Structure 1
């Protein structure tokens, strides 16, 4: 026990952690809510302005669709993405709680482990996948500086599925990202915005070069569809589902970031511009560039980092190296920030929800980073792996999960939550349900995803026959899986009503809301809670004495104050770093 005690999250101003709460999953006070419209725009653009988003049109084109149809699918699918992200993130923007805590509300204080476990698995896989792509970008960047790096001898056997250069680049990338993981989420908005803008200019420069090189827009944009009739309609359905599914994990954990919003409505415009306009524009840039280079080189270059490598391989002179340096610098930074912000930090938040007493966001992010090596991400790109197909089909689980969460907050609870009971496992809590699990939500989710399994199995292995109707259900999972889970959950809640649904706290016990917010929500502001009531509640809910009310009324939980005992210069450094990094 004494050994484990040494790993407990350190107290801040005497506020100790428990098995249900620490400073990173407690409702956020106003001091930590720093994200505005531009921040949310920058957040999504870290994912838009990456090599993965750039090549996003390739998967749709490979289905046999024409370029206009590909763009049409992107435009329609992103509408559903924007609506889902805004609606699912609203609970975070309003009550300032993250994904792990909202799962307690939906599935129960113990049943919440289901959604959290899925998010952790996805976080590990996508962190590894993004890390490998980032390693390639970093390797190209170093190759522009060091000729010996460009021509590094491969000492690995072919069975390893990667070269020595790739391995070194991936290792260096992972080490740098571990440093970036120390950024506090509320302080990362500045580098996010700068990196997104820089790499957008990089993409504009690449497509301009390709257009000039080809002298025309190229042949790819003039290709026609190879499907017709009802099959074309189902390909459209699958295209919409796969496009939505590619970001379903990010939609599910929107409360993690929406809770940092300064105002409840800030995520709306930022999400629209980032998730609709720019997320369509970037794949279009990739399509045009690939089409132009197909005319010049006779090959399709869907990965922009391969375009940069092409510059170095055809001409390793000063001009090519300079152009490649600035281009690969943008993609490297973008991949790093994107992997940290969309995979590492959210994964850390999920881990913090699993074991708040010992894991905070930073520790959880490091665990995600280390586990990402276990999935061998180099096999994602260098082999034909069934594992990749399985992970790309993971939306069959996430889409029904999102449907249940949306139904619970918007239709069952009427956008009201009782925060107090989210942070203890007592049987008298509103989210204890039956033995800690909300079986209504579990049943609705299980039925919706189970119907997708035959189609997913056929997608993984076409030799396994399934009825065409089951396969079509899988291809239209965005509509069928989401609508079915929402409908079933609402029906179950009407048949077996949830006790306390639609109720909210009488007062702002955590000191989370501003006076204006509390008034709008119809609850008593923190400063207006009588001292006698504060003391009684602190006795009934001991965690409130640590993360909200205190026996000395008015001592609001402040996560920005860090106990420092180092003298002189070291103390000053700690104070400076404490503003931006986890401590």
Structure 2
């Protein structure tokens, strides 16, 4: 059931408001706040990150609409869309990329949730506020933060202020950039935002297949993400700048700003305000992680290993890995956070270009649905892998690799490679999609323009046949 088409099943109950709520949680959360402040940290003024986030999130939303069409029209999830483009075995490659990205984001969101727990406990128990750190500096986290992190996981289901005469120096960047460097910093920020959020939006067909009416997901997909993320960005700019005016430093994680407030003004009013602020942010983080990462990755893992995992088991596995990866190490500073975001674009962008080109241009939204569940059909390609998609993917991401390696190792690289890496999302998207189209024109695929939907009898036959083959070890369903 986790990866079947829902063409004739009674599960399609999602309305326009359902999709609005889903995307609003992705936009109005701690990540949006922290993202803009980290962009300021690389030299952009406060107004420029707003533009970068708006443009980047709009690109992600537009590609989400394109990727979601497979769910709207064929009632198929991301796994099936990947099978059509990469092949029955090749689809596991694209799933692995998305799983890896979401594991990182799940851990980051969980770390933020743990910080929210710390804020709440600080407000209730003065002893917890003064808890001595017993962990070494190399751990990258304090005893207090680690306890909050673990408490968040144990309770998971899958704004403080100070009177100030002005909001702070909103347009003052932390470093000074030359004009050319500023332009590329702006483009790099757009690329980072688009790459980070496209990782979630490209899999939205997992949710659009539940739509109640054909147009229910359309407006929320295109508008909600850019609007809500930009709102989160504006709030982050105002409060972070005010915090900079108060404490003389940029505290770009709001929960750390609340903790700093508790350390400097532990009054009854402060405890009350920070308690409710922490509780609200905690609720937000739980909701975001459950909907955007936990269950989303549960679907991917269930599609990856359907014999051993359903959505619930997959979500539990994600929780375990989310602890093991020590996500706080990604958030130590802006110089680390942005390369993490940019790294997603290196692999997500060409994959997204290939998926959208395959569905919209090469196949013109036509699929032989039954063959997506059967080995040796038109989507078997060559030993279960569509070599056209794999070749386009490799050609799409390799130009960004020198800059990608440099970003994490610090090794010198030619300026041209560094600039390409700053634009990795756009380079990968256009190269992956464009080259895939050219390759498919030179070496056409069988069944590319055929469209065969499932009727009630076919759905039953495919499900029964796939189950029988699964027991025999012959199918990938």
* TM-score for both structures, normalised by structure 2: 0.91
C-alpha contact (below 8 Å) 1:238/1:476 kept by paired residues: yes
The 5 A counterparts of 1:285-304 are 285-304=235-254
1:107 CA displacement: 0.3
Q: 1:57 to 1:390 in 2, by over 3 A?
A: closer
1:465 CA displacement: 2.3
- DSSP-derived class of the 2:171 partner: helix
C-alpha contact (below 8 Å) 1:108/1:432 kept by paired residues: yes
Tell me whether 1:434 sits opposite 2:413 in the alignment.
no
Tell me whether 1:277 sits opposite 2:227 in the alignment.
yes
Q: Distance in 2 between matches of 1:479 and 1:335?
A: 30
Post-superposition CA distance 1:154-173 (Å, at most 9, x none): 33333323222222221121
1:369 CA displacement: 0.9
Tell me whether 1:252 sits opposite 2:175 in the alignment.
no
1:252 CA displacement: 2.4
Q: 1:170 aligns with which of 141, 146, 149?
A: 149
Q: 2:104 aligns with which of 121, 125, 132?
A: 125
Tell me whether 1:26 sits opposite 2:4 in the alignment.
yes
C-alpha contact (below 8 Å) 2:342/2:424 kept by paired residues: no
Q: Where in structure 1 are there 5+ consecutive unaligned residues? A: 1-22, 182-201, 510-525, 548-583
Output the aligned Cα RMSD: 2.6
Tell me whether 1:469 sits opposite 2:416 in the alignment.
yes
Tell me whether 1:374 sits opposite 2:297 in the alignment.
no
C-alpha contact (below 8 Å) 1:221/1:287 kept by paired residues: no
Q: Distance in 2 between matches of 1:273 and 1:291?
A: 27
- DSSP-derived class of the 1:249 partner: helix
C-alpha contact (below 8 Å) 1:138/1:173 kept by paired residues: yes
Residue 73 of structure 1 corresponds to which residue in structure 2? 52
How many residues are matched?
Answer: 469
- DSSP-derived class of the 1:101 partner: helix
Q: 1:153 aligns with which of 94, 118, 132?
A: 132
Residue 487 of structure 1 corresponds to which residue in structure 2? 434
1:26 CA displacement: 0.9
1:378 CA displacement: 2.9
Structure number with greater Rg is: 1
- DSSP-derived class of the 1:219 partner: coil
Q: 1:233 aligns with which of 166, 179, 183?
A: 183
Tell me whether 1:508 sits opposite 2:454 in the alignment.
yes
1:367 CA displacement: 0.8
C-alpha contact (below 8 Å) 1:27/1:97 kept by paired residues: yes
Tell me whether 1:41 sits opposite 2:20 in the alignment.
yes
Residue 66 of structure 2 corresponds to which residue in structure 1? 87
1:540 CA displacement: 11
1:493 CA displacement: 0.9
1:391 CA displacement: 6.3
Residue 553 of structure 1 corresponds to which residue in structure 2? none
Q: 1:274 to 1:546 in 2, by over 3 A?
A: farther
The 5 A counterparts of 1:420-459 are 420-425=370-375, 427=376, 429-459=377-407
1:298 CA displacement: 2.3
* TM-score for both structures, normalised by structure 1: 0.75
1:223 CA displacement: 5.4
Q: Distance in 2 between matches of 1:302 and 1:174?
A: 23
Tell me whether 1:413 sits opposite 2:366 in the alignment.
no
1:30 CA displacement: 4.8
Q: 1:298 to 1:406 in 2, by over 3 A?
A: same
1:383 CA displacement: 8.0
Q: Where in structure 2 are there 5+ consecutive unaligned residues? A: 471-477
- DSSP-derived class of the 2:10 partner: helix
C-alpha contact (below 8 Å) 2:57/2:225 kept by paired residues: yes
Q: 1:470 to 1:301 in 2, by over 3 A?
A: closer
Residue 58 of structure 1 corresponds to which residue in structure 2? 37
Residue 445 of structure 2 corresponds to which residue in structure 1? 498
Residue 108 of structure 1 corresponds to which residue in structure 2? 87
Q: 1:296 to 1:171 in 2, by over 3 A?
A: closer
1:415 CA displacement: 0.8
C-alpha contact (below 8 Å) 2:87/2:379 kept by paired residues: yes
Q: Distance in 2 between matches of 1:472 and 1:384?
A: 19
- DSSP-derived class of the 2:308 partner: coil
Residue 20 of structure 1 corresponds to which residue in structure 2? none
